[in-house]
Every structure is written in structure tokens, then in C-alpha cells.
Amino acid sequence: MNTVKIKNIILGDGIPKICVPIVGKTKEEIIAEALSFREFHVDVVEWRVDWFEDVFDIEKVIDVLKDLVCALNNIPLLFTFRTSKEGGEKAIDVRTYAELNKAVVSTGLVDLVDVEAFTGDEVVKDIIENSHASGIKVVGSNHDFEKTPSKDDIICRLRKMQDLGADIPKIAVMPKSKLDVLELLEATVIMSEKYADRPIITMSMAETGVISRLTGEIFGSALTFGSVKKASAPGQVEVEDLYELLQLLHKNIN
């Protein structure tokens, strides 16, 4: 499997890297959150721009980005508008979604952009092509807050993201039982060992799925999400606890 290098972070090698979300509503809150991350073990920061009060004003989004990049002090930045249909804070039409993401990647200020893989093949390919033209890597994503699909369906979704050109396919699913968590983990192993030629990210959400956020090194997920203040999804572990647990597992499986 190939790795993906983002600044000084390599995804797909060794211990899963830790991504922490920013969910501030104002520019001041966003920058303050970013500055606080310097005290923690954070590998990647995700700006969940759907929380931002002025998200539909592209000039204001780019204004925040300029200060955010400085505040992060070389920590790689993932730009994400999570739509309401996939668990985000706001609804957005497809045209505006594409315009926002393409405008942001054209600035070169971000290192990664999240593209919801089932927005429509042509739209997704267009955003991915624009991102790659600007040297920006793409996380192709899908979030199912209702259920855990079958392992075959999970694998199919991840393979589609790979086929569309995403550099890092990602899926998050909601477990209704402990067996659902095993379904997600089995799909992760099969995808990573049989089909993936690039890093993948998988997780089972909520308290039932917490184990999936810790065992990526064993099952094949390259990135895990932790929280410093407010979690952006159910089941996220506090970042320093997450760091210690990942280190402990790594020590005992190598």
C-alpha cells in the first residue's frame, strides 16, 4: 500500500495519526481553538467549516483560513464542509458545495479537503481534479448515521472513492450492536489487505464503536479522530487519552 505524506505527517504507516476538529462558530473561536492545540498531541486539524457562521461568504472563509494556517504553525489542515445529510450542521446545494471547495483549494491554504463521495460522480471528480491541480490531497468520505451497512457494502463504498480518485477513502458508520462494530472492522481488514492501494480511514461511531477508533494499526485504518473541546461526532475520545492508548497498543503489537 502507498502512503500519503502531508507536510511532515505520513498517513498509512505505523501508528494511526490523530485528527482533531475545530467547530467554532466565529473567527475568534476558531483561531482560539487552533492556538490551544499546540499543547496536545495533534497530527492533523480538521476545520469543520459547516459550523462557521459565515460559511456561505467565501471571502470570509478564506480570511479565516489565512489566520488559521498561521495559528496552526505547520500542523496539516483538513478542510471539511459536512453536509446536514451526512451529519453536519448545515444544508447546502450541490453547486454551492462545489464552488466553496474549489475556491478553497485554489488558494493552496489547506493540505487536505474532504469531499462527500456520494454528492454525484461528476461533481466529485471535478472537485478532486481541481484539488489535485492545486496540490491538495482529497479525503473521499461517507457517513451513515442510521446504521452499519454490510461489510460488502462498506468495501464497495470505499472502492468507489478510490475509483473516483480520492487519495484517502473514509467511511464512518453507526453501530446498532457489537456485531456491527465487528462488521466494520472486518470490512476494514479486507479493504486494506485486498483492495486498497492507498491509506483508508474507517470508524464505528458512538460509545459502542469506540474500539474502532483505537485499533487502526491492527485492522488497517490510518487516521483517527479525537476531541480537545467539543466532539464533532459521537464517540470521539479526548485527544490525550487517545494518544496514550494508541502508544500502548503500538508498544504491545510490535
**Per-domain boundaries in the chain:** 4-247
Task: Identify the band that residue 235 occupies on the pLDDT scale cut at 50, 70 and 90.
Answer: low
As given in the structure block, the three cell numbers for residue 59 are: 471571502
Cell of 205: 461511531
**CA pair distance 80, 52, nearest whole angstrom:** 11
pLDDT at 236: 75
Q: For the chain, what is the mean pLDDT?
A: 95
> Which band of pLDDT confidence, cut at 50, 70 and 90, is reported for residue 228?
confident
236 annotated as belonging to a binding site for a ligand: yes
Name the residues annotated as catalytic: 143, 170
Nearest-angstrom CA–CA distance, 161 and 172: 13
Question: How far apart (Å, rounded) are the C-alpha atoms in residues 55 and 59?
Answer: 9
Q: Does 162 belong to an annotated binding site?
A: no
Query: Region 135-162: what's the mean pLDDT?
Result: 98
- Which residues are CB-contacts of 194 (< 8 A; sequence separation ≥ 6)? none
CATH superfamily of 4-247: Aldolase class I (3.20.20.70)
Helix (H, G, I), strand (E, B) or coil at 232: coil
Say how far apart CA 165 and CA 149 lie, in whole Å: 23
Residues 136 and 168 sit within 8 Å (Cβ to Cβ): no
Residue 213 labelled as part of a binding site = yes
Q: Output the pTM of the full model.
A: 0.96
Pairing of the two strands 44-48 and 4-6: unpaired
